[in-house]
Amino acid sequence: MKNTSTPERRKQPAISFPDLEAAGQYGGLELWARRLVEGFLVGLHKSPYHGFSVEFSEYRPYQPGDSLRDIDWKVLARTDRLYVKKYEEETNLRCQLLIDASSSMFFPADETPTKFSFSAFLAAALLYLLRKQRDAAGLTLFAEEILFHRLPSVRQTHFRSLMAQLEHALRHPQPRRQTRLPHVLEQINAQLPRRSMIMLFSDAFVPGPQFETLLEAFKYLHSRRHDVIFFHVLSYPEEVSFAYDAPYLQLEDLETGRRLHLSPSEFQSLFQQRMQAFLHEMKVEMFRYGVDYVPVDIQQGPDQVLLPFLDRRTRRIG
């Protein structure tokens, strides 16, 4: 929704985002991602080489029978645990990152970051982390249909092309587009040849009739044993508590152009009830279908989202 007022208690982002126009010729987004990743890796409670799972790592715990020559003694000194370097055939994670580029993701329209730009920054950091750990990564941008699609690869040129596509999408927002998230998930599911990690960045604002279809799409991904991570990206407090201080608002649906005139004080209670019901149902259904559900507030910094997420994923295998 676009509006002519400002929400109460609007927080500033916890970190500054890169000026892509100024730094683009120097690989601005990749440089920013590298600095972010290198910074928060040292904050993980275990080895900084741990990632999302045993497979999503450059190292694995030492096992009886492993050659002593493969032990990384620097990691031993740092963690007091034995780890060995993985061979190339062991690092076979395939991760597809899906970013919703429908018009609702470009809210707040006149502020930085938007839901889309925040998602793109998160994705850039995760792409860098995947490359650092020599795992294959792919990228999909979508709205009604798939706008950009590259399946996972470990090649350096592939990684650079994905970063370039993210920068292009950040600089050149497209005209009004609606959401067909269930349809896109079905397409992706058909194209991934084997078990993969799927990271989805979306606000999941789909029309009512599509919601059950969306849940079915998640269910089917789970049945094929994909590891699905859903970053549910929202702008707080506007989209959750409707905390506007103006006596009167004009709202515009960014995807359809429909306009609505209302008084926030009269509408806020009903909005909060329905939004909380939506968030609760989403959380319950994602748990039901084995989806790792990650609520994201774009008023946080990307490090505040990624560090707890990585730490939690690490603890699963600790």
Cis peptide before 7 (omega within 30 of 0): no
Asked whether residue 58 is assigned to any structural domain, the reply reads no
pLDDT band at 22 (very low <50, low <70, confident <90, very high): very low
Q: How many CB atoms lie within 10 A of CB 170?
A: 22
Residue 157 C-beta-side C-alpha neighbours within 13 Å: 0
What percent of the chain has pLDDT above 70?
A: 80
Report yes or no on 2 lying in a domain: no
Helix runs in 17-140, H state only? 20-23, 28-41, 73-79, 115-132
Residues 264 and 242 sit within 8 Å (Cβ to Cβ): yes
H or E segment to which residue 195 belongs? none
Q: Which of 154-168, 203-217, 252-266, 289-303 has the weakest average pLDDT?
A: 252-266
Distances (CA, A) of 44 to 36, 52, 79, 249, 315: 13, 12, 11, 44, 10
Q: How many domains does the chain have?
A: 1
- Give the mean pLDDT of the chain: 80
CATH of the domain at 125: 3.40.50.410
Domain that holds residue 115: 20-42+93-315
Any domain includes 51: no
SS (H, E, C) 215-269: HHHHHHHHHCCCEEEEEEEECCCHHHHCCECCCCEEEECCCCCCEEEECHHHHHH
φ, ψ of residue 271 to 5 degrees: the values are -60, -45
The residue type found at 147 is: L
Q: Give 71's strand partners.
A: 84
Structure tokens at 1: 């929704």
Tell me, yes or no, whether 9 lies in a domain.
no
Cα–Cα distance measured from residue 139 to residue 304, given in angstroms and rounded to the nearest whole number: 23
Residue 54 located in a structural domain: no
Q: 163 near 139, Cβ under 8 Å?
A: no
Which has the higher per-residue pLDDT, 136 or 318? 136
CA–CA distances in Å: residue 261 to residues 37, 74, 75: 43, 63, 60
Residue with tokens 């295998």: 317
Phi, psi for residue 250 in degrees, rounded to 5:
-115, 115
Distance CA 119, CA 257 (A): 23
pTM: 0.78
What pLDDT, in 10s, does the model give residues 74-130?
777 877 778 776 554 444 689 999 999 999 999 887 777 899 999 999 999 999 999
Q: What pLDDT shows up at residue 32?
A: 80
- Does residue 271 lie in a domain region? yes
- The position carrying tokens 């990152």 is 97
pLDDT for 285: 95
Whether 302 is in a domain gets the answer: yes
Token pair 């993969």: residue: 196
Instruction: Check residues 43 and 247 and name the one with the higher pLDDT.
Output: 247
Backbone angles phi, psi at 234, to 5 degrees: -135, 160
In a domain, 84, yes or no: no
The predicted pLDDT at position 5 comes to 42
Q: How far apart are alpha carbons 95 and 56 in whole angstroms? A: 10
